[in-house]
Amino acid sequence: MLGIQNAPFLITTGNPMSTIDIGLVGVGKIACDQHLPAIDSSPDFRLVATADPHSRLDGVDGYDSLAAMLNGVPGLQAVAICTPTHLRYSQARIALEHGKGVLLEKPPGATLSEVEDLISQADRQGCPLFAAWHSRFAPGVAAAREWLAEKAIHRVEIEWKEDVRVWHPGQAWIWEPGGMGVFDPGINALSIVTRILPRAFFLREASLQVPSNCQTPIAAELSFSDAQDTPIHAAFDFRQTGPQTWDIHVDTDDGRLSLTHGGSRLVIGRQVVLEAEEREYAGLYARFAELVRAGTSDVDVAPLRHVADAFLYGHREIVDAFVE
């Protein structure tokens, strides 16, 4: 069953507030930019090892593979998997088989079938599994969700546009099957919208612009609606230069809610309700610590399902080749 699973945790951690020993699998850009600073500043975790055949961290035991790390540090309680998407399933399964709690960088898998199997494996092993939708921990998301809970929603506009050359330099995997192309950032927007809107919504049509030398889209236009036919439109683009755009606007019977700057700024009507420094990964690791200590899992596949629907249902248009 896809969704949130609750299961007993096999590992005994002693004091429920004691530090959790964690290993990092994959020491690439996202790990160095986000995971390492979050772990370093977390009162809940201690980084004791990494697994990456190409990279090491000073002062931390490094291994060429996850299997070698698990054998070398059997006391690990949890792992964070930050490999490219197509490798996450195999790595997560190994960690679960060894009884470890697992954090999956987004998206949690290359396919829904992979994630479904991981949910079942975590349930059988009694291990926490966390699909880490980091954008849901942006400062304004919780307040937006609360404000919208009882509102009549008339329209939703999502604009998520950024420069792939800035955010994914030299990362050719993003243009290969499973790399998701513009849906790599676009799924962040979908993770927020699926969190803040009070009703489920469904894809009605999609247009995917795919460079002639790539397998994944560089831009996409998506139209959704819910059971009440509320129009929800999303525009994703990897070709944005200059200022980057990560905005969501929701028109309601009580005015417009705008969640901008990736969720760090919340405006209702003309009033700035909240504007705060982005600390998504700090919140992400605080949530993972809760799950490890409680022995529960949190795996929401709704954002990934919407992306899968877009690939299944979208019209493809071939555009100019992408040259970095």
User: What residues act catalytically?
Assistant: 106
Average pLDDT for 180-207: 97
pLDDT of 135: 97
Residue 6 predicted with pLDDT over 70: no
Distance of CA 58 to the CA centre of its chain: 27
Together in a domain, 223 and 245 = yes
Residue 205, beta-bridge partner list: 223
Together in a domain, 199 and 96 = no
Tens of pLDDT, residue by residue over 240-299, are: 999 999 999 999 999 999 999 999 999 999 999 999 988 899 999 999 999 999 999 999
Determine, yes or no, domain membership for 15.
no
Average pLDDT for 26-33: 92
Q: The CATH number of the domain where 258 resides is what?
A: 3.30.360.10
pLDDT of 85: 87
Tens of pLDDT, residue by residue over 204-232, are: 999 999 999 999 999 999 999 999 999 99
Q: The CATH number of the domain where 129 resides is what?
A: 3.40.50.720
Together in a domain, 117 and 266 = no
pLDDT of 38: 97
Determine, yes or no, domain membership for 174.
yes
Together in a domain, 216 and 286 = no
Together in a domain, 148 and 220 = yes
Determine, yes or no, domain membership for 204.
yes
Together in a domain, 270 and 286 = no
% of the chain beyond a pLDDT of 90: 90
Report how many domains make up the chain.
2
Determine, yes or no, domain membership for 3.
no
Query: What are the strands of the beta sheet with 61-63, ordered from one edge?
Result: 61-63, 45-51, 20-25, 78-81, 101-105, 129-132
Element (H, E) at 196: helix 183-196
Determine, yes or no, domain membership for 291.
yes
Does a cis peptide bond (omega within 30 degrees of 0) precede residue 169? no
Segments forming the whole domain that contains residue 156: 139-276+309-319
Together in a domain, 291 and 313 = no
Average pLDDT for 48-52: 97
